[in-house]
Amino acid sequence: MFKDSKGFLEFVYEFYKTMKAHEISLVYEGEITHQITKAFTSLAESNMAKEEESGSVQRKVFHVMVECLQNISKHADEATDNDFLYSGRGIFMVSKNQSEYTVTTGNAIDNSKIPEMREMLERINAMSKEELNELYKKQIKEGRLSEKGGAGLGFIDIKRKTGRPLEYHFLPINDNISFFLLTSSIPRE
């Protein structure tokens, strides 16, 4: 028993060192609810205010965090064959170094949705700022809110706010589901 708990505590220390090495300031695994979204964004806000981050950087980080968290709470798929991967669950991580903030999310999605998502992400990545603005306008005019209240605008907005391509990856979990990772960085001025 003692040996086990020592092993566990050593793991915690290793984990802490890994977080420090990767400059991770927040990591969360679990259900992403509206309460969690509010808690994390207000935590990030007070940290950034303490660091005297510029208003523009603070606003951009806030935007990206909200859209990423709401992507998971509204879109993460139910995966019945694996109990730790269910609807609205995922990993959420914020890291920071001297030049940028990075917001990373991961959640399970149905393989059937991958081609459509990949196409949308690639399309957004290939667009200039002006094209994105046009697409955004078109989407709010013509797009409909999904059942869960998504407007299909999150990815467009993240790219507009950060001015950087959306980096993403799909890791196969099994024949039916994959783990979708998305990372966005916000330059510190």
Min separation Cβ 52 and another protein, Å: 15
SS3 for 138-162 is: HHHHHCCCCCCCCCCCHHHHHHHHH
Of 12 and 39, nearer to another protein (C-beta) is 39
Of 59 and 164, nearer to another protein (C-beta) is 59
147 to each of 94, 129, 152, how far by Cα in Å?
28, 29, 12
Min separation Cβ 104 and another protein, Å: 19
140 to each of 119, 132, 144, how far by Cα in Å?
20, 12, 8
Query: What are the residues binding another protein (CB under 8 A)?
Result: 34, 37-38, 42, 55-56, 59-60, 62-63, 66-67, 70, 133, 136-137, 140-141, 143, 145, 149-151, 153-154, 156-157, 161
Of 10 and 131, nearer to another protein (C-beta) is 131
Min separation Cβ 153 and another protein, Å: 4
145 to each of 88, 107, 138, how far by Cα in Å?
18, 21, 14
Of 14 and 134, nearer to another protein (C-beta) is 134
Min separation Cβ 149 and another protein, Å: 5
Strand intervals (E) in the chain? 24-31, 89-96, 100-110, 167-172, 177-187
User: Amino acid identity of 130?
Assistant: E
